[in-house]
Chains A and B, each alone.
Chain A
Amino acid sequence: MTDYIDVDVRPILRAGGEPFSVIMSALQGLEPGQGLRLYATFKPIPLFAVMEKKGFAHAEQALGGGEWEVLFTPGEPRPEEVAAAGSSFDNWPAPAVTLDNRDLDPPEPMIRILAEADKLGPGETLSAFLRREPVFLFPQLEKRGFRWLGGFTPEGATYELTVRAPS
């Protein structure tokens, strides 16, 4: 039976904050075999991939009102990937650039993000607001070696994306 540590990031999200560092520091505090129970105001789909790379399976459950409970359960550790993911996702600096691309015609938001991302220094981040999940942008970011995190804000009308340049 897995023992879960509760992390509730709903207050942070409601206040418009960035919950990622809280989640990552809770993760570092886990004992071997311990899992994480996360409460969020949206389904944190981008986090699933991050946690998967760290060796955690996820099981999510809608709580109503747009809120979600997600159980991250540790599986077989994959040491080399955990180390790689850990070094690149922890301690993201505050964004060097903030873009509001909500009122741009597609594909202008994608072009602007890629243009600005190319100007970032090693390890720097940019943050962008968008109307929809930029599904066609992700493979381009991946090909260029960028990491990203993103999700819809609680009211569901804005997608917030953070992109980090390779360090």
Chain B
Amino acid sequence: MIGASISRWTMTYFAAALAWLFVALFMMVVGVGYPTADIASPDTLVLVHVTCIGWLSLAMCGALFQFVPVLVAKPLFAEKWALPALALLSVGLLSLLGGFLSLDGRLPTAFWSLPLGAVLLVAGFGLVVVDLGLTAWLRPTGPARFVLVGLACLGVTVVFGSFFAFALSGWAGSFGDTVLASGIPLHAIAGLGGWLTLTAMGVSYRLLAMFMLAPDVDDRQSRVTLAMGAMAVTFAVAGGALAIGLAAGLPIVLSIAALLGLVCAGLYGRDVAGIFRNRKRRQLELNMRMATLSFASLAGAALLGVALVFFDGFTPHVGAFAFLAVFGWLSGLVLAKLYKIVAFLTWLETYGPVMGRAPTPRVQDLVAENRATKWFVVYYAAVWLGTVALLAGEPTAFRVAAAAMTVGVVGIVHEIVRIRRLCDVASPLRLPAGAVPPHLLFARN
């Protein structure tokens, strides 16, 4: 069949991802991990992996299971792998977190926990990469190419991570120890820069064009953006690995990669500005207005990075930089797009079967944007305050900001649940004859 049906487990991934986001917010509010603890402490490792695997990666995988088939107009290679992959990723993450906590004796020492977590995560992400990769490969144009590069970066990230897990358990020999000693920046760059950022960019090209009724970005133009991003990550990872092997030159390699990354971010900004300029839908929906705050956060993170390097403060303030990139740019974008994606998929699932046969509501009838706007504003303002608090070295102010972020996210999630339950659709349009209300946690496709 040609075309894209509704992905059955995307809502399940979103729900699991949001649950992990609450875990991460709770940790920041009560002061577990950075900045209360050292940035390399086991507590911080738990916080970072809850955020990057639990929240961002699961949300991204859920979105990709739906949107890669849209990008290539072909069904998923194997829809039935999605749920086992989610189970493997969830159990793998729990095992990994248990392993981190046993590093400083918070849990009974369990040397097998980290490697077991790594193996399960490799299996889970392996299913995702093969499934999405084989699907995207069918028509590797424009955005689908970003996804392919992102998936390759996910593979690299997971390989590095597995090395660390085995090395921390003392099972990887002296080579593993060397990789562990200096490879962490490469793991982070491949994960945040390659997998999450490049994939988010690729998906955003299509989502922005689709929801704003704009022509797609010219393939040649987006190809240059992708090439810069891919070169930045490749240079950082391959050059960095070589530098570690030679025990010299890592800062130079990372500086060049950062420059390439800046060029990529600049080109992406140009591409996105073009989509906004050429849109036919003049009135911007909430998800677009909020996405602009994410783009501002990405630009802010880039400027902050440059400023920190210029004033020789990057290493002590890397936490603030990463926080702004992860919560301002990536998490903000994912939350804004979740708001629209859930509304669109819920609308399609509920009203698709009766469309044209009975009057149906518009997608916008499912959302209450005025109510939702304030929660997004609270969230972004809190993220920016939190960044300032980290830069100023004020852990208490940071915890207050994290509490405000939690308030914003609770509000946003409440709105998303209302969308899924069709709470804001007035009768009699709400359920015309033949329409079935959707399940909260999965789609009946």
Contact = CB atoms under 8 A, between A and B. Distances in A.
Asked if chains A and B come from one complex, the reply is: yes
Contacts of A138: 1-4, 73
B308 interface: no
Interface stretch (B242-250, B260-268, B354-362): B354-362
- Which secondary structure characterizes the binding site on chain A? helix
A135 interface: yes
A31 to B, nearest CB: 29
Contacts of B215: 131, 157
A139 interface: yes
A8 B280 CA distance: 36
Contacts, number: 63
Nearest to B69: A135
B4 A136 contact: yes
A142 B3 contact: yes
A45 B2 contact: yes
B363 interface: yes
B3 A137 contact: yes
B169 interface: no
Given A105-B281, A131-B213, A136-B348, A49 B356 contact: no
Interface in B1-33: 1-6
A142 B1 contact: yes
A49 B6 CA distance: 20
Interface in A59-113: 103, 105-107, 110-113
Name the residue in A49, A103, A131, A142 with the highest tally of chain B Cβ atoms < 10 Å from its Cβ. A131
Nearest to A119: B356
Contact of A140 (B211, B213, B347, B352): B352
Contacts of A116: 356
A46 interface: yes
Contact of B363 (A107, A115, A133, A137): A107
A3 B347 CA distance: 50
B73 A45 contact: yes
Nearest to A131: B213
Contacts of A107: 347-348, 363
Interface residues of A, number: 28
Interface in A127-158: 131-133, 135-140, 142-143, 157
A6 interface: no
A61 to B, nearest CB: 15
B353 interface: yes
Contacts of A103: 280
A5 interface: no
Contacts of B70: 135-136
Contact of B1 (A115, A117, A139): A139
Contact of A105 (B2, B3, B213, B347): B213
Nearest to B214: A131
A140 B347 CA distance: 13
B355 A111 contact: yes
A46 to B, nearest CB: 6
Interface of A: 45-46, 49, 103, 105-107, 110-118, 131-133, 135-140, 142-143, 157
A-B pairs, top 9 by smallest CB distance, nearest first, are A138-B3, A114-B356, A115-B356, A139-B5, A135-B4, A114-B355, A135-B73, A135-B3, A118-B356
5 contacts: A105-B281, A114-B357, A115-B355, A115-B356, A131-B215
